[in-house]
Amino acid sequence: MRRHLAHPFDDDRLKEECGVFGVIGVADAATFVALGLHALQHRGQEAGGIVAYDAAEGFNNAKRFGYVRDTFTKADVMATLPGSLAIGHVRYSTAGSKGATAIRDVQPFFGEFAIGGCAIAHNGNLTNAALLRQQLIERGAIFQSSSDSECIIHLMARSMQKTLSERIKDALRAVEGAFSVIAMTRTKLIGVRDPLGVRPLVLGRIGEGYALSSETCALDIIGAEFLREIEPGEMVVIEGGTVHSSHPFAPAKPRFCIFEHVYFSRPDSILGGRSVYETRRQIGVELAREAPVEADLVCPVPDSGTPAAIGYAHESGIPFGMGIIRNQYVGRTFIEPTEQIRNMGVRLKLNVNRALISGKRVILVDDSVVRGTTSRKIKDMILDAGAAEVHFRIASPPTAWPCFYGVDTPDRDKLLAARMSEDEMREWIGVDSLRFISLDGLYRAAGEAKGRDKTCPQYCDACFSGDYPVAPADQIANGFTMKAAE
């Protein structure tokens, strides 16, 4: 029985797709993968898995629900994963069962082909997975999971290429959407990024071996040297201490997910040569320029709003203070969420620093507004603590469109910004003012001095703009209406 229960306010946050990590050329590779997955835990808290290869014992895997620290730190589990080559995955379901994950849905997925075994782990979402799945089943494929990522294994099985690396290329040429994939054979560690580079993937070196990771912060934890990002549309095959690079897809203008800068990635990671922390701090600077207001205190909504709040305070000259304190020890397995507990809402996780807040005009800086329910509860807590005024400043533009590239976003009719104007949202939340950073301001904070190029956007910002770089074929087939061309 699964014990991992969402908090009453978890559905008012965008969920951090998944994280992948792999190592080759080091003793006890699975231990390094477990450490890497621990550093990537913010990208998926639902479940994790590791596959390792040892010449004497072959491929072995372990998959568990829950946090990495609760499962892959146990000696008896790690003893089942010997070898100098391993890959792993942390999951937050974004397709298929969503919230009702079975252990068979947990990656990495493994396939035994006539030419050898191969395991894959996928961060992202395939936008034509339903169509592919239907076609594959009609041709005799038997699926074991509800995950879109399993399509890749079945496509590999149908490829006539003579090496697993070439079969991976064949399979990924048939899929659409976002994918950062790591894979392993008996001798190779493989990394591939989709042509748009929507999701991150980086390469590091550890001793005589190499590592692939969703973020640089996971390289840090194992003492690996960050070498470079895998380029959009690039495939690297690491074998025998050598990295072989190719570009198997048609070239395309990169569209990296800008929300990785806003929220998903850890602030101590590097994306596109930029510090995530510094980008978030600069978002606060831009917000202060675009949306000034007279106030006494700038407070972050922990933890993701903190760098932007620091930037806002520095630029505005208004003092920064921790007006809300986060309880670090409330996990997803805390207690059964009875109706009484549900009514406590965010108070389980956040508490107001009354001595600091009382009588003050407070600016609250948060990363996003999704459904808006959490914002209302936090506003109530601040007012209950005696605040004179409450002003919200949001470190992203209004989230008005769902993401189909690997983020668990509510349906569009449940997104507050899809139903209300900014003034209507301010009134519904019940604050003295509410302002979001502009899309151009966000781009400037991310290093684009001239803002967003409307004719050819530098990032994927579909959740804000409705401009989808890859048409979500499965969603359109189910009735989703794309934004009309302007």
Query: Active-site residue numbers?
Result: 18
Question: What is the side-by-side order of every strand in the sheet holding 189-193?
Answer: 109-113, 116-126, 177-184, 189-193, 235-239, 242-246
Cβ neighbour number for residue 70 with a 10 Å cutoff: 13
Is 279:257 a contact under the CB 8 Å cutoff? no
Identify the DSSP state of 272: T
Q: Whole-angstrom Cα distance, residue 459 to residue 259?
A: 9
Q: Which residues of 240-275 are buried (b: 16+ CB within 10 A; e: fewer)?
A: eeeeeeeebbeeeebbbbbbbbbbbbbbebbbbeeb
3-state DSSP assignment of residue 61: strand
Amino acid making up residue 281: R
- CA angle, 223 as apex, 220 and 228 as ends, to 5°? 60
The closest alpha carbon to 77, from 137, 126, 37, belongs to 37
C-alpha separations of 89 from 351, 468, 483 in Å = 33, 26, 34
> What's the chain's Rg over C-alpha atoms?
23
- CA angle, 41 as apex, 35 and 42 as ends, to 5°? 145
Is 23:184 a contact under the CB 8 Å cutoff? no
